[in-house]
Amino acid sequence: MTKESQQPTPEVLQSLIWDNDALSLLDQRLLPEETVYLRLTTTQDVWEAIRELKVRGAPAIGIAAAYGVVLGVQDFIGSTADWAAEAERQAEHLATSRPTAVNLFWALDRMKARARALAEQGVASAEATQALLDEAKQIHAEDEATNRLIGEHALTLFKDGMGVLTHCNAGGLATAKYGTALAPFYLALEQGIQLKVFADETRPVLQGARLTAFELQRAGVDVTLICDNMAGHVMSKGWIQAVIVGTDRVAANGDVANKIGTYSVAVLAKAHGIPFYVACPLSTIDLSTPTGADIPIEERHSDEVTVGFGKRTAPEGIAVYNPAFDVTPAELVTAIVTEKGIVTAPYEENLRKLFD
Ligand code: MRU
């Protein structure tokens, strides 16, 4: 059911802004306590921002990296061929910042292809840098439009009054605007559709508590924060009618990598007969990765687990395993929502059709 509403589009804090030859980046590590924009002027600044989760979320990482390539060549003086080689070198470096989100490699491939094309055309390096910046801006702008479409498609899956659970942060902060999994919540708000969102806090780095709860509350969405281990309990109470999450990479067979804990949520959803939806742009679908087992899973520092809440919460010297992502097998995924529409099984076949 769709209702008309007078409410304007809620304002979302922008995670990335190109500003006067620099990338102005919202430091997501400091949220929700502080809203601080960092001014990044070098490729290495961007590399560190990605690695240290100052910017995070698959699409936002890709956008940041695209601007990072521009920062790496904007002071370059020399031949166009050398300029393109430098752009390529900076892109290769940025590709080592984090391994799982395929949007990073997608954006860098696009920037490298543009740089090569400019070099082939013999465009002088200063003009070529401007054209490369236009490409990064284009990636940024396209992401916003894409997410709005994802939100429109995803909203068709929800009805007024439903409880919807999400994990991690796949919102405006993780993208140019709206997010992927959170986009339908913003559109529901615009249209006066009441949804009751439950946000998993998402240990170890608390993207759900610090970011999803923050951005949805700020926008006026009805959001309730729960600890990760409460998801089964709220499902058993009948409060959840759907789960929707984002993803860092969808393999060709429909297996989905997302923030650690997503797989457990999918199993719980299955046990309770609740649909489990995944929202992502086509740039997150990687047909060159055959299955989830082929997706590289980042492992992060043990401190994220042992000093989780700003103080030591585990004994010194304890062995820690800290994977940042897990893989949800395709059979647990009810549907994948993209800008081109909603895809269901058989994923191998239907994901491929999206690219025809
Ligand atoms: O480690 P993070 O915070 O980068 O992990 C982010 C996620 O897992 C998101 O769900 C995913 O990138 C999709 S963001 C639209």
For residue range 58-116, list pLDDT tens digits in order. 999 999 999 999 999 999 999 999 999 999 999 999 999 999 999 999 999 999 999 99
Assess if residue 3 is contained within a domain. Answer: no
83 is a domain residue:
yes
How would DSSP label each residue in 287-306?
TTS-SGGGS---B--THHHH
For residue 308, what pLDDT is reported?
80
Give me the domain span that covers residue 292.
157-352
Atom of ligand 1 nearest to the CA of 171: 15
Residues 209, 317 within the same domain: yes
d(CA 81, CA 229): 54
Q: For residue 30, which phi and psi values (nearest 5 degrees)?
A: -90, -15
Provide the domain count of the chain. Answer: 2
147 is in an annotated binding site: no
**Is residue 8 domain-resident?**
no
CA–CA distance, 232 with 328 (Å, rounded to integer): 17
pLDDT tens-digit series, residues 118-146: 999 999 999 999 999 999 999 999 999 99
Percent of the chain with pLDDT over 70: 97
9 falls within a domain:
no
- Which of 9-13, 205-209, 217-221, 273-277 has the lowest average pLDDT? 9-13
Whether the pLDDT of residue 1 is over 80: the answer is no
Do 314 and 165 share a structural domain?
Answer: yes
Domain annotation covers residue 43: yes
Q: Is 63 in the pocket of ligand 1 (CB under 6 A)?
A: no
Q: In Å, how far are 48, 49, 50, 154, 281 from 93, measured between CA atoms?
A: 11, 13, 12, 35, 24
| Helix, strand, coil share of the chain (percent; to 5) | 45, 15, 40
The reply to whether 126 and 197 lie within a common domain is no
Pocket test for ligand 1, best of 244, 259, 298 (most atoms within 8 A of CB): 259
We report the CATH number of the domain holding residue 63 as: 1.20.120.420
Shared-domain flag, residues 322 and 178:
yes
Determine which helix (DSSP H) or strand (DSSP E) holds 108, and give its type and residue range.
helix 102-120
Tell me: do 197 and 307 sit in the same domain: yes
For residue 7, pLDDT beyond 80: no
**End position of a domain, from candidates 97, 123, 144:** 144
Residues 55 and 180 grouped into a single domain: no
188-219 per-position pLDDT tens digit = 999 999 999 999 999 999 999 999 999 999 99
Last residue of a domain, one of 144, 173, 191: 144
User: What's the pTM?
Assistant: 0.95
Could you tell me the CA-to-CA distances from 282 to 64, 170, 333, 349, 355 in Å, in that order?
A: 18, 15, 17, 15, 8
Same domain for 326 and 208: yes
User: Tell me, what's the ipTM?
Assistant: 0.99
**Can you give the pLDDT at residue 2?**
30
Mean of all residue pLDDT scores within the chain: 95
Is 56 marked within a binding site?
A: yes
CATH code (residue 295): 3.40.50.10470
279 and 163 in a single domain? The answer is yes
Same domain, 203 and 131: no
One domain, residues 335 and 311: yes
- List the catalytic residue out of 143, 248, 286, 326: 248
**Is residue 4 domain-resident?**
no
